[in-house]
Chain A
Amino acid sequence: MTPMKKYLTEIVFCFLLPALLIAAVAEYSLRKIPNDYAFKNQWLTKNSRDVEVLALGASSILYDVDPTYFSSKGFNAAHFSQSLKYDHFIYNKFIEQMPSLEYVIMGVDFWTPFGDIEDSPEWWRVKYYNIHYGSNYYRWLGKYNFELYFRDIPTFKRATNGFLSLLGLKEETNVAVNENGHGLHYTLENRADNWDNGEFEAARHNTLIIEGLHDSLIEQNRQYMEEIIRKSAERGVKVLLVNVPLYVSYRDTQNREFLKQQKDFCTYFVKEYNNVQFYDFSDDPRFTEEDFYDANHLNDIGTRKFTLFLDSIMVHQSSPLMTKNLLENDQQF
């Protein structure tokens, strides 16, 4: 054997190939572990024809809206920190297969107009849209496409569990939503003793907005929202923009200027499109301490109450009053 052949044989067969094989098996195993993204994509691919109410947004919608309580067939397609770009992507992917759709519920948190998951601490979730939903954003960037971008012990531990699941020796799942896409585990029973983290969370969101603030992003988000609304209007679908109930500590720490911009963002669409209504539940007195899981998410009791309010709005087609009131109260900001 020539020296070169010997070297290449050793490097390739003793190191490179085993390493690649381990990496490939680990990546495959991780991808095969069921999670919320895979579940929701599969569910929508299979059942979108029946969906009458589609909820989109971030964790506030994921945990605060449980379509089980809707009178009509609903599905919650929200995910943690999902910004409008990915609401837009999911909507576009499935809208053609939703002939029964009547309502789209869009969560508009105070950071939504400025939100961009790719620039947030939750950027690592972007890969799930590429892997499971088949979005094609940043296909050349490993960090947005590979589970193994994080090569730490917990990841390899998960990969091992995933591999054992593939062999049928273990059952590993990361699905944490019910059959209608509503996030589980945020219950009163599970609520931490120091659940009121409102000041900290709102301050953190204020900082994140300031750090990522630029006009082009706001304009881009406006365009994503506008396209969802326009396409909905063309199909006779109504869009409810919803600001979820918030606990007083969170509400009081929110940056006033950002709140004003959030409101302007929503009222623009209410004024421009007939199929849009905006409901601000952020300081709704009907939600009390007992309804919250933490300062900006509801627990199971609050979620039931909130979902039923939304259902009532949809069923009774009421509420132009609420929208009107909101528009009239512009000066309060």
Chain B
Amino acid sequence: MVINSFNFLFFFIILFVVYYFPLRNNTNAQNVWLLVTSYVFYGITDLRMLPVLLISTVVFYVIGLLIRQSTSTAASFLTTLGVVAGVGMLLYFKYLNFFIGSFAALITSIGLQVNPITLSIIFPLGISFFTFRLISYVIEVNRGKIEPTRDFVAFATYIAFFPTLLAGPIDRPNDFIPQLRLPRLFDYDLAMDGTRQILWGIFKKMVIADNMGLFLGSVWGDVASQNATTLLIAALVFPSQLYTDFSGYSDMAIGVGKILGIRVAINFRYPFFARNVAEYWRSWHMSLTTWVTDYVFMPLNVRFREWGTTGLLLAIIINMIVIGIWHGANWTYAVFGLYHGLLFIPLVLSGTFARKKKLQANRYGLPYRSDFLKMIGTYLLVAFGLIIFNALSMEQAVVFMKGLFQFSNLTNFTAEGLRMLALSLLFMILALIAEWRQRDKEYALQIDSLVPRKAARFAIYWVLLIITVLFSGEEQVFIYMQF
């Protein structure tokens, strides 16, 4: 069940009615209801993997309780056990076949015969997201940042909260679990804000990402026979598709959370206005980057401190590789991470790595030219990295990059394909203008102060709704659901 479907709408209406009518004065019952519906949601999506979610939830819940009751050494051991169990789950379900294949390739390359056995392992949807929540919980408990919860329902709801279960954002226990202890009476402003954010997410996903997806699907489906122009356009368009697809999902998830009175972690903060790669990563998939920063980069940075700048760079590069391979078992993701890690080198050496300079508009309300050029440059660097990211293999990425220099007059566009692409680009530009104007807000459609009159705001929502109905592309699967 995908979040932008009619099935989800019916599911959510039932959830909403029960949540806010019979259960409105009973926080515990609301939590139980959220948990049950989250499991139903996951079960409908993939029933086979529900036991994995259930068992891992129970195991980490117990580990959390044991950590608090243990001595410091035992607590560290239990935390390590939890981290190993979480990473082990990921390794087994996501990476085992990749390791077997890579090992077999290595053996074969030195001239030995090998017949690798690939295991038939089901890939559990959302595993990368809920595993990181589980790991985060035991680490935070061990660090003493949170008390281990005795409320199993609240803990399990945190792990399985349905809007974020399949594609994030990755909430942190410190922010999420305490919300489940508070009474959740209906909040009009929050719910209206959430509804509006869902509308903005649906617009980005269905009008921009899905229309771009049709074009990009045809290009990536047959990279070898595309000409340079087509490949160049595909390379330039893909960051926009990925952004509108993933941030669209995040907006919908956050919006659903708000309607239920729960604040979900912010995942994007206008990454295309980033003036360098460091800014980009501070505003892209923020729930993952902050997670990896806290649990990978910071410990490494402390460990490598004595090596000075070299140590910092090493920590950053390892950090970026971890972010890369979090996406899946493929060399492309590792190389993608390494590429971004290398892009940090000039930033670290010039000292601009950690500098946070607020974006300012010139007297016309536009970005300053120097900022604008830096934004374009960052976009191009990101677009290049995403060629590697989106390729099925390094070989395909190389074919794509070589193809960028194979000039010919032939174009592979059909009239319909060109129309859809032009349309989605037009809406992308309009969305970016709206985002620039609203860059201080959580998302672009948060227009209460810009348009104070309610009737005018509702008219804008209607326009967006009509555009979504009329121009939505053929439904494409959310890209980040595969991770």
Contact = CB atoms under 8 A, between A and B. Distances in A.
Interface of A: 2-4, 6-7, 10-11, 14-15, 19, 151-153, 156
15 contacts: A2-B186, A4-B20, A4-B186, A4-B188, A6-B188, A7-B188, A7-B191, A7-B192, A10-B458, A14-B458, A15-B461, A15-B462, A19-B465, A151-B470, A152-B471
Given A3-B191, A4-B188, A153-B470, 19 more contacts: A2-B186, A3-B186, A3-B187, A3-B188, A4-B20, A4-B186, A6-B188, A7-B186, A7-B188, A10-B192, A11-B195, A14-B458, A15-B461, A15-B462, A15-B465, A19-B465, A151-B470, A151-B472, A156-B470
Nearest to A153: B470
A299 B8 CA distance: 50
Nearest to B187: A3
B214 to A, nearest CB: 14
Nearest to A18: B462
Nearest to A14: B458
B469 interface: yes
Nearest to A151: B469
Nearest to B461: A15
Nearest to A155: B470
Contacts of A2: 186
Contacts of A153: 470
Secondary structure class of chain A's binding surface, majority of residues: helix
A21 to B, nearest CB: 13
B178 to A, nearest CB: 23
Interface in B190-212: 191-192, 195
Contacts of A3: 186-188, 191
A6 B20 CA distance: 14
Contacts of A19: 465
Interface residues of B, number: 15
A24 B3 CA distance: 24
Contacts of B462: 15
Nearest 3 interchain pairs by C-beta: A3-B188, A4-B186, A151-B469
A4 B188 CA distance: 7
Contacts of A10: 192, 458
Contacts of A11: 195
B455 to A, nearest CB: 9
A156 B471 CA distance: 12
Nearest to B199: A15
Contacts of A152: 470-471
A216 B301 CA distance: 63
A6 B458 CA distance: 14
A4 B458 CA distance: 18
Contacts of B188: 3-4, 6-7
A236 to B, nearest CB: 50
Contacts of A15: 461-462, 465
A4 B195 CA distance: 13
A36 B123 CA distance: 48
Contacts of B20: 4
Contacts of B187: 3
Most buried by B among A4, A153, A156: A4
A152 B467 CA distance: 10
A72 to B, nearest CB: 45
Contacts of B191: 3, 7
Nearest to B455: A14
A100 to B, nearest CB: 47
Contacts of A7: 186, 188, 191-192
Contacts of A4: 20, 186, 188
A325 B458 CA distance: 74
Interface string B428-465: 00000000000000000000000000000010011001
Nearest to A142: B6
A151 B6 CA distance: 15
Contacts of B461: 15
B260 to A, nearest CB: 13
A153 B195 CA distance: 25
A72 B90 CA distance: 74
Nearest to A156: B470
